[in-house]
Amino acid sequence: MAVQIREGVRTEKKTAALAASGVCKAFRPARVTPGGTTVRAVDSVSLSVWRGEIYGLLGANGSGKSTLIRLFSTLLTPDAGTVRVFGLDIDRDELAVKRLINRVSVEASFFKKLSAMENLVYAGRLYGVAPEESRPKIVSILRRLGIEDARMTEPLEKLSRGMQQKVAIARAFLSTPMLLLLDEPTTGLDIRSKREVQTFVRDLRDEHDATILLTTHDLDEAARLADRIGILHQGRLVAEGTALELAARHGGGSLEDVFMTLTGRRLDDADASEPERPT
Amino acid sequence: MIADVGAQLGLAYAFVEREVALSKRYWAWEIVWLVYGIVTSLSVAYIALGAPGLSGGSGDPALVSRFVLYLLVGTITWRFLGLIFEQMGETIAWERWEGTIEYTFMAPVPRLTHLLGMCAATLVRAVGFSVAILAAVALFVPVDLSHANVASALVLLATGAVAFIGLAIGSSVFPLLWTEKGLQMAYIVQAVVLLVSGVYYETTILPGWMQALSFISPATYVIRGMRDALLDGADLAAVWPNLWPALLVGAVSIPLGLRAFLWAERYAKRTGRLKRSG
Ligand SMILES: Nc1ncnc2c1ncn2[C@@H]1O[C@H](COP(=O)(O)OP(=O)(O)O)[C@@H](O)[C@H]1O
Ligand SMILES: [Mg+2]
């Protein structure tokens, strides 16, 4: 199923679901912090994600993953460079692009007092999905993600972090996006939820012709899910390829070694917040 | 074209449904605001009933009942306009607090449709609250509407609502520009408007510089016109001098507020102020 594409092969007749070229984003510090310098969060990133592909962006905390995802989902305007989604310019055809994409962020981001059902029906409406259509769909997605019917009508704040994250994934999936942007979808989940989410992501791509760009700071996850991996370091894309290609190009060994060679640090060092990764 | 309008209305309705659902879930707070509104208006009405005793005046019942209505028109109109201002003004701040703001801005909903939906939701709530307050107050103090011209009053109220929606859209921009202190700024603006708009007194008693602010506050005209209509039965022609300034503010503030909002959205996306964690 995995689409093996060698780096640099742009001439092949493949549809680019996402094409970014020379994208830059810097943040100026708030005036109140003295001596603060401009942060180059994303630095001349060019990448393409092919239709049907799962592309994994691997990077430590602060490497610019979330910023890149926000740039791709119209929540930030790039300082330089262009982004195209299925050929549409993200700036000029903003509304059309918005219809094609959806995003899951690290934090679940819901109306806390509303139930999963209420939140999702609302989200569906924003994408033009009527409640008659969305309700059965919501129930089936949530069941599949292991959420019992009774929990669907409880205020969302009563659900565990893992369940909330599953609801967030269901929300993104509800609008049947052509391009799904997942920003660390499994960070902070227990191993079981993590596996469920990963399986769902795979199934999504296989069954629904979705293209997925996923960020992670979990090497296993990148290796397990992604057809191609890009390594982001201090805002720059320092390497790109399949796990095998990356290993071959950077002196063999595991993905972990490759990461170490390229960035000079172990990914785990930045991952102290992850409870289930023993070191 | 028609289908498109229908689709946009459907999108706008999403916000109405959401706000109603939120009201239900935060029902205890809604009760607080309702009780607060009723108590405020009622205690203001009692000022009028108690005034003759304080000033040692005659307490002519006709005068007292006129004073009661004078104050009630001020306090309830202000509450109505204030509810619009607060809820619309919190369009950004509320969603930032809930953490949903990025999802709303990422959705394929034109900003105009989004704000239209929020306006509709706001009006539903403001009308409901105001009617409930009026009904509750009427249970305790005599409200003499025998001279009232209700039609003029409704036209003035609708015009005031439009003007305040424009102003509120404009002020909801503050939290987009200043993530920390924006909402506080909007509240200060509202407090100053209360002071200068003659809600409980004639603006002529204010110092000159405050009167200058009264002159530009649409609430001044709406409340003055409402009094003419409800106390003295002024018809549309008679309230026109107070109607057109409010209309003018609406005509100017709505497009200007929208412009400001769209500009602030672009600014926030350029500087990363929409949201930054994660
Ligand atoms: N909205 C913002 N305003 C200012 N700085 C930001 C903003 N978003 C991200 N940054 C900074 O940009 C850098 C990259 O952050 P981010 O993209 O969140 O990294 P990651 O998701 O890989 O952890 C960090 O130094 C972060 O502090
Ligand atoms: Mg991040």
pLDDT tens for each residue of B210-268: 999 999 899 999 999 999 999 999 999 999 999 999 999 999 999 999 999 999 999 99
pLDDT score recorded for residue B60: 84
State chain B's mean pLDDT as an integer: 90
Which chain B residue lies closest to A100 (C-alpha atoms)? Answer: B108
Residue pair B86/B93 in contact (Cβ under 8 Å)? The answer is no
Task: Tell how far the Cα of B162 is from the centroid of ligand 2, in angstroms.
Answer: 41
Nearest to A77 by CA among B233, B274, B241, B251: B274
Which pLDDT score, from 0 to 100, does residue A3 have? 39
| Cβ within 8 Å of residue A203, ≥6 positions away | none
- Give the DSSP letter of residue A28: P
pLDDT for the residue A8: 39
Are A109 and B274 within 8 A, CB to CB? no
Q: Which residue did the predictor score with more confidence, B93 or B118?
A: B118
DSSP3 helix / strand / coil % (chain A, rounded to 5) = 40, 25, 40
> Considering CB atoms only, which of B14, B269, B278 is closest to A107?
B278
Q: Which residues, including other chains, have CB under 8 Å from residue A41's CB and lie 6 or more apart?
A: A25, A26, A27, A64, A67, A235
Q: Are the C-beta atoms of residues B76 and B130 closer than 8 Å to each other?
A: yes
If one counts every other C-beta atom within 10 angstroms of the C-beta of residue B214, the result is 20
Q: Does B275 touch chain A (CB under 8 A)?
A: yes
In whole angstroms, give the CA distance from residue A269 to residue B2: 58
Q: Do B269 and A114 touch (CB under 8 A)?
A: no
Residue type, B247: L
Structure tokens at A4: 């093996």
| A113–B266 CB contact, under 8 Å | no
Which has the minimum average pLDDT: A103-117, B19-33, B181-195? B181-195
Which residues have a beta carbon within 5 Å of ligand 2, which is an ion?
A 65-66; B 278
Contact B109/A126 with Cβ under 8 angstroms?
yes
Domain, as residue range, for B116: 2-271
Model confidence pLDDT, tens digit, residues B115-153: 999 999 999 999 999 999 999 999 998 888 888 999 999
d(C-alpha A148, C-alpha B165), whole Å: 42
CA-A63 nearest atom, ligand 1? 22
Q: Write down the pLDDT at residue B62.
A: 85
d(CA A164, CA B275): 20
Confidence class for position B86, pLDDT limits 50, 70, 90: confident
B125 to chain A nearest CA, in Å? 18
Does residue B278 lie within any of the structural domains? no
Long-range contacts of A124-128 (CB under 8 A, 24+ apart): A124/A174, A124/A175, A125/B10, A125/B11, A125/B13, A125/B14, A125/B17, A126/B11, A126/B14, A126/B104, A126/B107, A126/B108, A126/B109, A127/A99, A127/A102, A127/A174, A127/A175, A127/B107, A127/B108, A128/B7, A128/B10, A128/B11, A128/B108
Predicted confidence at residue A14, as pLDDT, reads 79
- In chain A, the DSSP E strands lie at 16-27, 39-50, 54-59, 80-85, 88-89, 101-104, 179-183, 211-216, 228-233, 236-241
pLDDT digits (tens, 9 = 90+) for B161-171: 999 999 889 88
pLDDT for position A33 = 60
Q: What average pLDDT does the segment B24-44 reach?
A: 92
Q: How far is CA A90 from CA A13, A49, A64, A145, B83, in A?
A: 22, 15, 19, 31, 37
Using the predicted structure, report yes or no on whether residue B273 has a pLDDT greater than 90. Answer: no
DSSP H helices in A175-254: 191-208, 219-225, 243-249
What's the residue count for chain B?
278
Show the low-confidence residues of chain A (pLDDT under 70): 1-13, 30-36, 268-279
Q: What is the pLDDT of residue A5?
A: 41
DSSP string for B24-55: HHTHHHHHHHHHHHHHHHHHHHHHHHHHHHHH
Ligand 1 binding residues, C-beta < 6 A: A 27, 39, 41, 59, 61-67; B 272, 276
pLDDT value, residue A134:
95
Interface test with A, best of B8, B30, B96, B100 (most A CBs within 10 A): B100
Nearest Cα to Cα of residue A262 among A250, A271, A253, A272: A250
Using beta carbons and an 8 Å cutoff, which residues of A are at the interface with B?
A: 25, 27-28, 66-67, 70, 73-77, 95-96, 98-99, 101-103, 105-114, 118, 121-123, 125-128, 130, 155, 171, 183-184
Q: Which of A76-80, B43-47, B91-95 is least confident?
A: B91-95
Give residues 67 to 106 of B whose Cβ lies within 8 Å of A: 98-100, 102-106
Q: Do residues A189 and A162 make contact, with C-beta atoms less than 8 angstroms apart?
A: yes
B28/A contact by beta carbon, under 8 A: no
Q: Is residue B277 part of a domain?
A: no
d(CA A75, CA B92): 14
What phi-psi label fits residue A32: left (phi over 0), alpha (psi between -120 and 50 degrees) or beta? alpha
Q: How many domains does chain B have?
A: 1
pLDDT reported for residue A272: 41
Range with the poorest average pLDDT among A231-240, B1-10, B66-75, B243-252 = B1-10
Ligand 2 centre to CA of B110 (Å) is 27
Residue type, A19: A
- Whether residue B276 lies inside any domain: the answer is no
CB A270 within 8 A of CB A218: no
Q: Residue B152 carries which side chain, given as an amino acid letter?
A: S
User: Residue A25: which of A94, A105, A82, A80 has the closest Cα?
Assistant: A80
Looking at the partner chain, which of A67, A77, A126 has a beta carbon nearest the beta carbon of B107?
A: A126
Give nearest CA residue, ligand 1 atom 26: A62
* Angle in degrees, CA A206, A108, B17, rounded to 5: 100
pLDDT of residue B144: 84
